[in-house]
Amino acid sequence: MPSPNDPPAALPLTLDLEDFKGDFSFDALFGSLVDELLPEFHGDDAAGVPPPPPPLLGAAPPVFPAVDELLGLFKHSCKELVDLRRQIDKRLQNLKKEVATQDAKHRKTLGELEKGVDGLFDSFARLDSRISSVGQTAAKIGDHLQSAESQRETASQTIDLIKYLMEFNSTPGDLMELSPLFSDDSRVAEAASIAQKLRSFAEEDVGRHGVTSAVGSANASRGLEVAVANLQEYCNELENRLLSRFDTASQRRELSTMAECAKILSQVCTRCKGHGPVFHAQFG
């Protein structure tokens, strides 16, 4: 066993950081230090330890023979504790530096992420504004297209009406050159509606030009007068066709056909009560 006068480096290493981990017990640590010097410290093991040799004649027996060795051990243990504390302090300093470095990196990363998120929100805001603008533009385009389509349909209908009016504006009493629409029994309702529009337009035009003819333009509305006469003749013919179909449907008790014929007859004869004696004789 080393003497207490030996330098500290010659003493064995007695302490380690592992001794202080987990459930630390000072009694257990102290026992492990003095185990070799004080076997009787273990209590039960003291019975097996041989008694110390008798003192030499003339020499005073030592009161505590292991005191010097214990003092050396404790001094060496204190030095080891100081070294362990320095190791721990160094580790703590390294950990603090590492934590500070990682914290700075994380803060930098968070700052970059925040900037990226802000930029992302700005992009979303611009995108939303763009989508809203595109939606408004699309709505305006849709309105314009709808208006253009409506105007196109109106123009197409007007062209068709002019074409039909020119057909009725041919030779008086000649209904042979009319479009197939006016002779198609499956399109009687459509033909009646168009004929009513043409008669309304032609009669208004004749009425306006009647004043002009009184002051010297007697031939100004002659063409439309022919159209009015032909339209009246066609309406009379259409009325007769509808009455014939109505009679046939009434004999067969086809109520839906009778209702359809009656509806069309009422439209055809709305403006010609004085010109439709057959209809009024039938229902009057």
- 119-138 pLDDT, tens digit per residue, is 999 999 999 999 999 999 99
Nearest to 69 by CA among 9, 11, 131: 11
Residue 135 falls inside a structural domain = no
Amino acid at 38: L
Strand (E) or helix (H) holding 43: none
Same domain, 179 and 271: yes
Q: Does some domain include residue 142? A: no
Residue appearing with tokens 């009379």: 236
The answer to whether position 127 is within a domain reads no
Q: Mind listing the pLDDT tens digit for each residue in 135-164?
A: 999 999 999 899 999 999 889 988 988 888
- Reduced to 3 states, what is the DSSP secondary structure of residue 100? helix
- Contacts of 42-49 with CB under 8 Å at 24 or more apart are none
Query: Which of residues 64, 79, 104 is at a domain's end?
Result: 104
Verify that 96 and 202 share a domain, yes or no: no
Inside any domain, residue 126:
no
Q: Which segment, 2-11, 68-77, 93-102, 266-275, is predicted with the most confidence on average?
A: 93-102
% of the chain with per-residue pLDDT over 90: 19
Domain with 243, as residue range(s), is 169-283
Whether residue 178 is found in the same domain as residue 75 = no
Does the structure show a pLDDT above 90 at 98? yes
Q: Mean per-residue pLDDT for 22-26?
A: 72
Q: Is 270 within the bounds of a domain?
A: yes
157 located within any domain: no
104, 127, 148 - which closes a domain:
104
Q: How many domains does the chain have?
A: 2
* Separation CA 98–CA 100 (nearest Å): 5
C-alpha pair distances (Å), 201 with each of 98, 197, 209, 213: 96, 6, 12, 18
Domain-located, residue 146: no
Measured N-to-C along each axis, helices 67-168 and 188-214 cross at an angle, to the nearest 10 degrees, of 60
185 and 270 share one domain: yes
3 state SS of 58:
coil
